[in-house]
Amino acid sequence: MSIAPPGPRFTSWVRRIHIYAGLLNFSMLVVFGLAGLVVTFKAPDIMHSGVRPATRTIDFTAPESLSDKQAGERIASAVGRPPHAGEPYIHRDDSNRLDVDWYTANGLVRAVYFGQEHRVEIQTWRNSIWRFFDNVHATTMADRSPDPVVRAWAWYIEVSIWSLIGMCLSGIWLGVASRWQFTWTRIALAAGCAVFAIFFLLER
């Protein structure tokens, strides 16, 4: 008993999926493209953009008996978690000052503790729009951010990635099912497979 190949109705549904997946996720795919251009053209990051951070100061004194981690946690509590930030990174800088850093897609918020002056200086380094796109496109479900906006971004990117895979597979089907009689369709498919295979073998 032979199985009939999928007919025009199936191809029509594949075409609809291909089109609507593209319309739903084209904005995120543009972000992916912009992020690639940012890296290619080496857009300056926050530390090399020439823009000074916005600063403010709060009074703070950490008991000398505390460890760096404990003092950093108290600084983080006094400063408050910046919007869309993950867990703070507590460390000492080159001047041996205690720093508490929060990284977000928008940039960096750094709280620097000046113990002898009993104060914390809060520096807000804001990314350019191009570096924002670069950071956003790298957001994944593995980040496990407590911020709901960041988690929503991660889900959006996850769906977009799978949609892109679906668009590639549906595009291959549409090319084979409805345009296989054209020479350039066969050339394009063969060239794409050959280029991938060559680069894979050379790199691997």
Summarize pLDDT for 139-193 with one digit per residue, the tens: 888 877 788 888 898 898 888 889 889 998 999 899 888 888 899 999 999 999 9
The pLDDT tens digits of the residues spanning 82-138 come to: 988 888 999 999 999 999 999 998 899 999 999 999 999 999 999 888 889 888 888
| b/e burial code for range 28-61 (CB count within 10 A of at least 16 → b) | bbebbebbeebeeeebebbeeeeeebeeeeeebe
> Which of 77, 80, 135, 144 is CA-nearest to residue 106?
135
> Which of 130, 174, 148, 168 is CA-nearest to residue 25?
168
Sequence spans of domains, the chain: 8-43+135-203, 54-127
| Model pTM score | 0.74
Percentage of the residues of the chain whose pLDDT score is greater than 70:
97
Residue 136 sits at φ, ψ, to 5 deg, of: -65, -40
Selected residue with higher pLDDT from 6 and 89: 89
Q: How confident is the model at residue 3 (pLDDT cuts 50, 70, 90)?
A: very low
Identity of the residue numbered 148: P
Assess contact for 106 and 124: CB atoms under 8 A.
Answer: no
How far is the C-alpha of 152 from the C-alpha of 162, rounded, in Å?
Answer: 16
> Which of 121, 123, 113, 122 is CA-nearest to residue 64?
113
Q: 120: left (phi > 0), else alpha (psi -120 to 50), else beta? A: beta
Assess contact for 55 and 124: CB atoms under 8 A.
Answer: yes
Assess contact for 112 and 126: CB atoms under 8 A.
Answer: no
- The pLDDT value given to residue 5: 55
- The residue written with tokens 């403010």 in the block is 56
For residue 145, CA distances in Å to 85, 91, 122 come to: 8, 20, 22
- The pLDDT value given to residue 2: 46
Q: Which helix (H) or strand (E) element contains residue 110?
A: strand 107-114
- The pLDDT value given to residue 86: 85
Q: How confident is the model at residue 6 (pLDDT cuts 50, 70, 90)?
A: low
